[in-house]
Structure 1
């Protein structure tokens, strides 16, 4: 090694030469040491690692790789062919020259237990007394007898004694207490102190999906890493740990650049087979770094337990939902129970359930995404989703918004039974059919896409229009609603919310909002007008014009933050998304499923946002942040 290099040796020696079983899977400590050595690497000093005593391969973007061998020193009975296979996979994963690692394994033919001596000898061949000392990362069993030092820093003489002794006897003065991290000194100095192995970092429960993400300097390197990780995922046997452990290894230690740029790839998997398949299909790419815009769905998107798989798992989402239920006041606890129930007592499509929960879940998802470090450039909501967007953007305080939502629900429940009808036609095509209702209560409720229009009205009148449309060959489908939202049938109920709007004191949003009620960016004058908010439950939703105006501002990554994937499907029809200039991803699944499905969908969206080039707070994504 050059005189400016630093080197780290990690090994595990149990009492009386026994295998240190605790070494398996502890490569997180080495990664932590590498993080502390970051300033050294940035100053141009290479960091070499000889990793021994663990089955977990580790890579570091700024270093030269590592040697990966199974645990134990003296008495090891590792079969050489298995070790060679392990080294082959480790070499591919780390980008290390396979010939070097295979040579190490080949020298073990006569004495499989002397792999540590071989590794140290190869290091010592280029290590002179005037070079910086080695840093030692050790398990609780400590150093060997011949190489023991109370400081944990090896000098050239220590290394020679270790080689002569064969690293067979454990250190009798080693500290066998619980692992304790010891801070490294300033990495600008030559040499580093010891770091006792800390407890393993917490991981999600077995079976929960994990994000495997990697970044490299260019596409060719990214492809090599992807293929290598796929080989590790498909590796047969338990040399790299069981099926779940291999996925955890990839999730924790896939190679990632310390600086933005380069090429990124990310997949989500819960087991090795799924990881292998996902890695086979995925192709890393140069991040496009498109800004994020959030979309919030409204009536019709709801389904039982929407987002409930995140409750109690993601602390930000959980706190936001708890706050919402508390602010709802009387009936808030019952609303929570209905939301978490597999068999709610009140139909979920009823406004008394759908409207408040669409708001609560949308708000909690928006808060969760922001906790990741994502700063949306715009927010756009559909129907009740506009209240979510306005609240997150600062036009309303959360308590004021919840009171207004409660007033809306109270008034709309007093209206006669009604419904909403989705028709595959333009709004202009449907105008003649609206005259079939002599009362004028059936109206265009929403323009979701050029040929995706929603009608709404009282049940009987809407049924007449629906029958005539089907006779004429139009494709119709009743939406999930038990009230005639966005039609004259709820106008009186809408006007009755005026006092609640005035009490809420809406103002201009701090963040950019595109309004589906005006079909464009929400300006200060409109946001200040109480009547704009008062008539919303009766006014038509112009989602497509608003989406068109939003995408006209530039290329975006649209993220649907709410139940289902209805807005995602609508956005995919837009020319900006079809041309791949913009893209869209949904946070939640399209339909109900097991709780883990919610978490998987959210992780997939987070992986997509990260691959786009956004830096995320992964402790927040993983749900390990402390609750406020």
Structure 2
């Protein structure tokens, strides 16, 4: 067997969340990867298995123990029906934050090269090393808001281009502060380079404003008067309402000590953000005339799609976002992110909020409204391939279809693999049910067989596999069928005019054998004998001899399937 060197995504779908995790554990125990190439296993799981409502995936590295990759399954509690892109604002940046997407995705690399080339040509700014090379010096450089804002904007746009290549389409957008410029660009208010120019000039103007600080506090808006005093708004500004229990305060340098002491006195948890200025506050008023001119000269266009506004917390007014006044209000006023998330969740109750940025900073506050939250995997400790495949697999387990051919190709062949884990249920017979007298049962004729049912078509329908790919030697359980599926198959064959008992089905698990049995067209003699007996004694569904059972068990073990004990 040729050893694979690339990472692989192993995907399963099951009827329940519990079965998802059990299926991965059963797969690890059966260890079919010891007999078959991972590429073939990946292909088989993706193309030949029946689709269910719950999904689970594992990104595995053939250079590491398989147990490690299988021990970190990606799973969602329920599938989502809508997709919301969430764009992170300033404060999430770190040097080398685009190295993974830059190395892995050609569309992202082209977007990053274009943006960095534009800024270097227009302003002599070298952003590419800050985005792709991790170092302490580059981290310091990214503390400058004039560098951080365009860098974060380029990163988000590069992710968007790569997600588009995967055929993903979002239902709506929302950004936090700087992130709203990403939403506006994606919606068509500006083209890429014009939006980048606006973002760069905005960052440079903001860096020229008086310095200050920002504190993220575990506090509600209603508690501000109690914690900070009634005159707090005369001294500091409310920069953002991120959630019902988290606020961000913008504070001039001279008021910082007072604000921190007041919060500590009331035992309010807070974190100082990595910013050099007090954004979304009155300190930005000094740069409004110049910024207004920048917006006017950029000639904003009517958006081709809508998003949710930081200024109002509601879906945008398409006319308003083409004015300088809107973006000046956006610069100085409170970010109404909490209202935006609440309104989106009301409009799209089954949506996944998918955060795009350097780090997932907004996911915790969104989780106060909905648990359907995820984000790009941007961990510099993981390989670029691992980061990107994990990002795609995360979206897939939440119910979104990915064009895997773009990233994984379509090479592979079907190999026998363990089926999904079962979820047994116990049922008891109704003692009050009317039973046909035994004498009538014994003489009841078999259902007439007019035209033999199409067994291959029924296999295809129940297993979710294209009938053209089925071969005569295929084994029902090896293709992912379960005992419940087999009972359904017997029911459908009978309903189609065929004759197949449950016992017969267990003895005819290969497609050609079942077709031969059904085309034979007579009821099982075993069933007639059972009907004539006074008492149905316990029996096994398989009528095989011990020698035959041992042979089948050996075959299953050879194929890497955990067949269990048949005795």
Q: Give the structure with the higher percent helix.
A: 2
TM over 0.5: yes
Deviation digits for residues 362-384 of structure 1 (CA, Å, limit 9, x no counterpart):
11112211221100000100010
1:558 aligns with 2:343: no
Aligned-pair CA distance for 1:220: 11
Q: CA deviation at 1:514?
A: 0.9
Name the residue aligned to 1:340. 132
Tell me, what secondary structure is at the counterpart of 2:332?
A: coil
Task: Map 1:15-164 to 2 at 5 A.
Answer: 24-25=1-2
Q: 1:540 aligns with which of 334, 345, 350?
A: 334
Measured in 1, the distance between the counterparts of 2:230 and 2:315 equals 35
Q: How many angstroms apart in 2 are the aligned matches of 1:496 and 1:437?
A: 31
Matched, 1:499 2:293: yes
In structure 2, do the counterparts of structure 1 residues 418 and 226 end up closer, same or farther at CA, with 3 Å as the change threshold? same
CA apart distance, 1:265: 2.8
Deviation, 1:432, is 6.2
Task: Tell me the alpha carbon deviations over residues 576-601 of structure 1, each in whole angstroms, 9 at most, x when there is no partner.
Answer: 32xxxxx1111034xx63351x5434
Cα distance per residue 1:287-313 (max 9 Å; x no partner): 735211100010222222223222122
- Aligned partner of 2:149 in structure 1 is 355
Superposed CA offset, 1:193-212 (max 9, x none): xxxxxxxxxx7xx4x64321
Partner of residue 469, structure 1: 263
Question: Residue 412 in 1 paired to residue 206 in 2?
Answer: yes
CA distance in 1, matches of 2:269, 2:255: 18
Tell me which residue corresponds to 1:610.
396
Give yes or no for contact 2:85–2:174 (8 Å, CA) kept in 1: yes
Instruction: Trace 1:158-557 onto structure 2 (pairs within 5 A).
Output: 206=5, 209-215=7-13, 226=24, 229-231=27-29, 233=31, 240=35, 247-257=38-48, 264-271=55-62, 275-279=66-70, 282=73, 288-328=79-119, 329-331=121-123, 334-341=126-133, 342-345=135-138, 346-431=140-225, 440=234, 442-553=236-347, 554-557=349-352
Partner of 1:515, secondary structure, is coil
The TM-score, its normalising length taken from structure 1, stands at 0.58
Distance 1:289 1:600, change over 3 A: same
TM-score, with length taken from structure 2: 0.64
- Is residue 325–residue 332 contact of structure 1 (8 Å, CA) maintained in 2? no
Query: Per-residue CA shift, 1:536-561, capped at 9, x if unaligned?
Result: 22221111110000010121011111
Whether the aligned pair in 2 keeps the contact of 1:448 and 1:543 (CA below 8 Å) is yes
Structure 2 CA distance for aligned equivalents of residues 523 and 615 of structure 1 = 31
Is the 1:434–1:465 contact (alpha carbons within 8 Å) kept by the matching residues of 2?
yes
In the TM superposition, what is the alpha-carbon distance from 1:386 to its structure 2 partner? 0.4
CA RMSD of aligned residues (A): 3.3
- CA separation of 1:617/1:405 partners in 2, compared to 1, >3 Å: closer, same or farther? same
Deviations 1:44-86 (A, max 9, x none): xxxxxxxxxxxx9xxxxxxxxxxxxxxxxxxxxxxxxxxxxxx
Q: Which runs of 5+ in 1 are unaligned?
A: 1-23, 26-55, 57-202, 578-582
> Contact 1:434 / 1:442 at 8 angstroms: preserved in 2?
no
In 1, are the aligned partners of 2:84 and 2:171 still within 8 Å (CA)? yes
For 1:255 and 1:232, locate their aligned partners in 2 and report how far apart those are by CA, in whole Å.
19
Q: 1:447 is paired with a residue of what secondary structure?
A: strand
The CA distance in 2 between the partners of 1:608 and 1:320, in whole Å, is: 23
* Shift in alpha-carbon separation, 1:432–1:531, aligned structure 2, 3 A: farther
Greater relative contact order, per chain length (Cα 8 Å cut-off, separation 6+): 2
CA contact under 8 A between 1:216 and 1:257: conserved in structure 2?
A: no
Shift of 1:283: 8.8
**Superposed displacement of residue 443, structure 1:** 0.4
**Residue segments in structure 2 that go unaligned for 5+ positions in a row:** 411-567
Contact 1:444 1:455 in 2 (8 A): yes
